[in-house]
Copies of this chain bind each other. A is one copy, B any other.
Amino acid sequence: MARATGSETTAGGIFLGKTSYGKSDVRLVKVRRGKDRHELTDVRVDVALEGDFEAAHTRGDNTDLLATDTVRNTVYALAKDHLTGEIEKFGKKLVEHFLEAGPTVERVRVRFTEHLWDRITVDGREHEHSFVRVAGERTATVEGDGSGVRVGAGIDDLLVLKTTNSGWEGFLRERYTTLPETDDRILSTVVAADWTYYDGTDVDFGGVWRGVREQILVTLTDHYSPSVQNTLYRMGKAVLERFSEIEKVHLSLPNRHHIPYDLQRFGIENEGEVFHSDPEPYGLIEGTVERRT
């Protein structure tokens, strides 16, 4: 998120290391007013600039600084002509712009969090300008330093649950282990996936995003899960096998534990029917699946 300027600025050898600055949480909504229907993009934008900002930090000299307010204005201004489709393409335009606009900017990172809307259906037809928010978020990150641009994308806040075909057995038992083994439990998680493209130039970003989301859902269903770890690996592998555009995918899968409630105390049998959904603590399983290049 920054760079070392390396300059020593005090006698005691104290110096300014990596820095960055920018504008976060720019809430941009773009309407494209087509002849037949309107298209809607609803996105939060975070822009971070890295470079040589030592004069501002150590001497209070702002001469070469773009104001973060200017960064905000620019996001809206460029959205007019350049946010005409996928957010990833708009991100590349923003990176390019800020590398030029900031005299000492050396690297730009733009992160998008897109809120998703479906068209409202009226009499079986999608309405031309009315929308209802759906769950989950589409993210994208575009980063560049003038020598090239790196494009990534992601899925946030995708809650899934299967009521069976999942277990947790054969794990290590030692002094502090009390958890019983089970070959039938609820598996539930909030998928956060982030991936990077080999080359962000010629990708059907929307199509791949929808495909990754679909693949993650399908993989959840297609196997007995012996652990979140194994399901994580299977998801990553399936995504890479399906989309050759993707270099690697990172998955973060918090285990949202569902505990069978002890009803035997009341003379009631609980055969995998009544659960307490425990918000915390949660097992957190993370991993990256990559491709040998």
Contacts and interface: CB of A to CB of B under 8 A. Distances in A.
**How many copies altogether?**
4
Interface stretch (A140-148, A198-206, A279-287): A279-287
B266 A77 contact: yes
Interface string A200-231: 00000000000000000110111000111110
Query: Chain A interface: which size bin?
Result: 35 or more
Contacts of A74: 176
A35 interface: no
Contacts of A237: 10, 14
CB-based closest 7 A-B pairs: A13-B292, A68-B283, A133-B159, A17-B288, A19-B287, A60-B226, A69-B179
Interface of A: 1-2, 8, 10, 12-33, 38, 40, 42, 46, 48, 53, 56-70, 72-74, 76-77, 79-80, 101-103, 117, 120-122, 127, 129-135, 158-165, 168-172, 174-179, 186, 217-218, 220-222, 226-230, 232-233, 236-237, 240-241, 248, 254-255, 258, 261, 263, 265-266, 268, 270-293
